[in-house]
Chain A
Amino acid sequence: MAVEFEPKIVGFLCNWCSYAGADMAGTSRLCYPSNIRIIRVPCSGRVDPLIIIKSFQRGADGVLIAGCHPGDCHYTEGNYYARRRFAMLAPFLEYTGIERERFRVEWVSAAEGKRFSNVVTSFTDQIAKLGPRQARIGKEELV
């Protein structure tokens, strides 16, 4: 019997908005798929493209970045820089052979528990449809 594909998703959530938003989803008893592994970062501006590519290299099927809405950054402008960086990264990932759909950036505030749950659900569905990454490189050689 074929085992159903469960995507592995890494989520980098900013401490001030999105992580609290995920918390809100929890305390509100909202459901979202457990495929996401959440990593808390100080700010979406902290997310180095290196750790995104590293996640893909180590077998992630999708990477989600979530931060404060533009204008609401705890550090005033971190997410504006992040926005530019990821806007450059997303098409570049596609260019190097990682589907555009596997990388998503969302703005989730601390009050938007419902939105967080929706984002994770739709992202997980999207990646489940895409299937596992055809990462011939990486997987067989991981120890």
Chain B
Amino acid sequence: MIEEIQAKARELLEDGTVSCVIGYERASSGVGARPCFAYEPSDVDKFIFDNTCHNDLATYLRGLKGKKTAIVAKPYDSRAVNLLLNEKQIERQDVYIIGVVCVDDYRHKTKHARENASPDVELAIPVIYDVLIGEAVERKSRSEQAFSDVAEIEAKSTAERQEFWEEQFSRCIRCYACRQACPGCYCTECFVEQLDPLWTGIRIAPSENQLWNVIRAFHLAGRCIGCNECERVCPMNIPLSLLNRKLEQQALEMFDFRAGMDAETAPHFATFKKDEHLGIG
């Protein structure tokens, strides 16, 4: 599989189709993987691909805007590419997608996913690609317990939930790694860095942490493509995907919208139906 990725990447760089290929290389620790930006055909030799390749590489596409770029895309990275295309952040002709089939779920296994045998693994094939590497396999159907983790939180009383989140957010050190790793978090100026008005205080206090995490989640309401990178990079192990998945579930139920499945469907907040009944007002 890696030979095929390398061959394709080399070919793209050699014939000048793209000026950069984003893939993975072995991290300096020797165990993990890190993003690798190949500008020369020889750089491609460093590429690796295995189940340590967690980073959502679509995060870097906006930074290379205007340059023709190829990206090694796992299924969830490809959803992120669709998200960026849909939101007009990148141009389709500027990006060449080397889709890689992942029979196993290559996303970082959260504690919860480990316990529940990964509730959401139906994406094995990238949803958008120019070339597909690996054998196309049947997509697993979405399992019954796709949102079992969300239901678990919902089963709690309001007071228990408040306590639960309070406990989780009290650990937050506001390093904003979740934002940096997220392909959907691309505001030039994040609300948390605005000084006037100062939406979140600078101090690390539970209520400020809660505001930050809840608002960040809501900015991704129904836009989260489920790569779980925010949760993986969180140094304090806050279960951020629980927030994102709740909103993903709501968007699905209310608007039948799943972010990043294609690049054409109008985003749920950018459109409306006049006669819809959403249980408010």
A80 to B276, CA, bound (A): 9
> In the complex, what residues of B have CB within 8 A of residue A92's CB?
214, 217-218, 221, 246-247, 250
Is there an interface contact between A105 and B281, defined as CB atoms closer than 8 Å? yes
Interface residues of A in 68-102 (CB under 8 A from B): 70-71, 77, 80-81, 83-92, 94-99
**Chain B 170-212, CB within 8 Å of chain A: the 1/0 string?**
1000000000000000000001000000010000011110110
Is there an interface contact between A81 and B191, defined as CB atoms closer than 8 Å? no
A50 to B219, CA, bound (A): 9
> In the complex, what residues of B have CB within 8 A of residue A88's CB?
218, 221-222, 247, 250-251, 254, 269
Given contacts A91-B250, A92-B247, A137-B207, contact A97 B165 (CB under 8 A): yes
| Interface secondary structure of A, over-half rule | helix
**Apart from A49-B215, A84-B269, what are 19 other A-B pairs with CB-CB below 8 Å?**
A50-B191, A53-B211, A53-B214, A53-B218, A57-B211, A80-B272, A81-B269, A83-B272, A84-B272, A86-B281, A89-B221, A92-B217, A92-B218, A92-B221, A94-B158, A95-B153, A95-B154, A137-B205, A141-B206
A-B contacts, 25 listed (Cβ < 8 Å): A50-B215, A57-B207, A70-B274, A70-B281, A77-B272, A81-B269, A84-B276, A86-B280, A88-B221, A88-B254, A89-B218, A92-B218, A94-B161, A96-B165, A97-B159, A97-B162, A97-B163, A98-B158, A99-B158, A105-B280, A136-B166, A137-B170, A137-B206, A137-B210, A141-B207
